[in-house]
Each structure stands twice: as C-alpha cells, then as structure tokens.
C-alpha cells in the first residue's frame, strides 16, 4: 500500500470536470488499496509522511507547486511532475533548445533576446517566417501569453510586454490548423490521444473573448490510442524522450502530412469526459506509476 498525496489548489475544484477527474484518481487509488489524500498549501510540511506526490496545481519553477515537487524529490519520494520536467516544460526556450539539439520535429522557432528588439532583426524574422508570426512568452500555459502579430508595431508591443518578465522570447511561424493533437504520455508510453479543436474563427484552443476577461475553449474530441496515426505517436514519444519519463501532454500540429511538435506540457489537463473518454485506464496507469 502506498500513501499518495495529491497537491491541489482551490481552483482545481472550480471546474466540475476537473473535480470529477480528481475524484476518479482518489477512487482508483483507494480501490487498489492505496491512501490518496488531497494536500493543500497548509499541508506542505506533511510531505515527508507520504510515499509519492501527484501535483495537479499549476506548475512553474516560480510557483508553490515547484517547492512541493522539489521538496518531495529531495526527500526521495516519487513525484509527478518531477522538478526537472517542470523546469524544462515550464520554459519554452529550454524546451525548443532541446528540440533543436535532438532534432525533434517542431514548429520553426527563433529566439529573440531583449537586445534584438530592433528594426533590422524584426524584419529578418518576418522574412524568415512571413506574416503573421506567433510571439510566445517562455512561461505560456493554457493558451495565454501566445499572440499573433502581423506588423512591426504590434510585434514590438507584444514583445515589450513579454520582455517585462523574461529576457528571451520565442518567435514561431504561424501554422493555422482546425485542431491540435494532444497526446498524453506517461513514462514513455502513450496514455491517451485527443484533438483540441480551435473555437470557430480562432487559431488557439483557448481564446479570450474580445473586451471580456473570460476565455472560450474549443471542443475536445478523444480517440482510442490504437486509432491515432502511428507517426503522431512516434513524434510524441520522441519529444518526451528528451525531457524525462514523467507525465506529459504533447501538442502536435499536422500539416501536409507532417507532424510537428508545438510544445510539451508537464502537468497536462485531465478532465473527466474529455481526455479520459476513450482511455479510462489512464487513472489506473498514473496511480500504478506513483505507487510503484
């Protein structure tokens, strides 16, 4: 029997589907004879009491979730997401630098540092990728801090905003598609496959409503693992190989028969009725990995 702590924040229970998925994890663990407790911020000192930690709160090297992950790791506990995966996936510059080194097929990407925000360099970027282009802050998650720009003025505006926090940004070719593949991977094994559809008239899975603070999200269409294209699964596994052997959500675009990685996310969303619809065994596989 393993004692598993699931680190969550209050917002993890605000969406009914996410709350239901968390209950599914708890039920699965308990059915298998494990202890599964939700751990909130105030419970951080209790980490040593557990054998494994499963993080569901949003991760970033600057968030509390990283403190939880690293503390568990330093104490020799099994942890999803492990600190190294948070470090790499939480910073897209790190991620694309690794993709370049290991020849992982990915969206054409250039890095732009603060000193390069000048007319000549911006023209070079537009020449390389055409117009529009996508400017991405390294700390992007949930489709935020990724913007499309088509002229130098808006490029400068967006870049200046993102440069407030990070000294380096990613600039990418714009590849509009009706959906992004989302492949869930655990320990070098495909866990689930979905299509994250773009909302009508939008180019990202999550898009802000004009003039409103709320987001609209595209539909999630799930597939059986065995029905997903072989090349898609191969590319997803290759992308995860350069990061580690934890739990990842790989976003992949398919264009002209080619599969290119958009990004790899640690701490991928798992909502009941979406990611798990055709892969009900994902709960058991994650619990088994933690309890092993």
Positions touching other proteins (CB under 8 A) are 41-42, 44-45, 60-64, 66-67, 70-71, 74, 83-84, 87, 91, 93-94, 97-98, 101, 111, 113-116, 138-139, 165-168
**Of the two residues 86 and 272, which places its CB atom closer to other proteins in the complex?**
86
Q: Give min distance, CB of 26 to other proteins, in A.
A: 23
Q: Residue 230 CB, nearest distance to other proteins (Å)?
A: 29
- Tokens representing 25 are 């994890």
In three-state form (DSSP H/G/I as H, E/B as E, the rest C), the secondary structure along the chain is: CCEEEEECCHHHHCCHHHHHHHHHHHHHHHHCCCEEEEECHHHHHHHHHCCEEEECCCCCCCCHHHHHHHHHHHCCCEEECCHHHHHHHCCHHHHHHHHHHCCCCECCEEEEEHHHCCHHHHHHHHHHHCCCEEEECCCCCCCCCEEEECCHHHHHHHHHHHHCCCCEEEEEECCCCCEEEEEEEECCEEEEEEEEECCCCCCCCEEECCCCCCEEECCEEEECHHHCCHHHHHHHHHHHHCCCCCEEEEEEEEECCEEEEEEEEECCCCCCCCCCCCCCCHHHHHHHHHHC
**Which residue number, 68 or 190, has a Cβ lying nearer to other proteins?**
68
Looking at the Cβ atoms of 66 and 196, the one nearer to other proteins is 66
Least spacing, CB of residue 205 vs other proteins, in Å = 24
Shortest distance, CB of residue 62 to other proteins, whole angstroms? 4
In whole angstroms, the minimum distance from the beta carbon of 176 to other proteins comes to: 29
Please report how close the Cβ of residue 182 comes to other proteins at its closest, in angstroms.
Answer: 25
Closer of 71 and 177 to other proteins (Cβ): 71
Cβ atoms < 10 Å from Cβ of 246: 20
Q: Which is nearer to other proteins, 35 or 97 (CB)?
A: 97
Q: Which is nearer to other proteins, 72 or 252 (CB)?
A: 72
Q: Which is closer to other proteins, CB of 263 or CB of 275?
A: 263
Minimum gap (Å) between residue 136 Cβ and other proteins: 14
């Amino acid at each position: 029997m393993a004692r598993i702590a699931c680190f969550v924040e209050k917002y993890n229970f605000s969406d009914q589907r996410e709350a239901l998925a968390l209950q599914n994890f708890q039920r699965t663990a308990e059915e298998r004879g494990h202890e599964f407790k939700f751990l909130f911020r105030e419970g951080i000192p209790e980490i040593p009491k557990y054998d494994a930690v499963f993080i569901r709160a949003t991760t970033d090297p600057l968030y509390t979730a990283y403190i939880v992950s690293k503390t568990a790791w330093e104490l020799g506990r099994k942890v999803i997401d492990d600190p190294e995966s948070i470090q790499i996936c939480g910073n897209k510059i790190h991620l694309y630098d690794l993709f370049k080194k290991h020849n992982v097929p990915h969206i054409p990407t250039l890095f732009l540092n603060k000193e390069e925000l000048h007319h000549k360099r911006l023209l070079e970027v537009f020449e390389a990728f055409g117009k529009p282009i996508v400017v991405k802050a390294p700390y992007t998650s949930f489709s935020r801090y990724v913007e499309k720009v088509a002229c130098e003025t808006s490029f400068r505006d967006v870049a200046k905003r993102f440069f407030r926090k990070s000294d380096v940004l990613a600039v990418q070719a714009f590849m509009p598609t009706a959906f992004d593949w989302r492949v869930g991977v655990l320990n070098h094994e495909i866990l689930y496959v979905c299509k994250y559809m773009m909302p009508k008239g939008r180019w990202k899975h999550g898009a802000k409503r004009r003039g409103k603070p709320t987001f609209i999200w595209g539909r999630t269409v799930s597939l059986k693992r065995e029905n997903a294209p072989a090349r898609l699964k191969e590319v997803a596994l290759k992308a995860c190989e350069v990061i580690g052997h934890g739990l990842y959500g790989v976003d992949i675009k398919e264009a002209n028969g080619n599969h290119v990685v958009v990004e790899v996310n640690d701490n991928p969303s798992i909502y009941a009725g979406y990611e798990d619809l055709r892969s009900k065994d994902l709960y058991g596989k994650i619990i088994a990995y933690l309890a092993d």
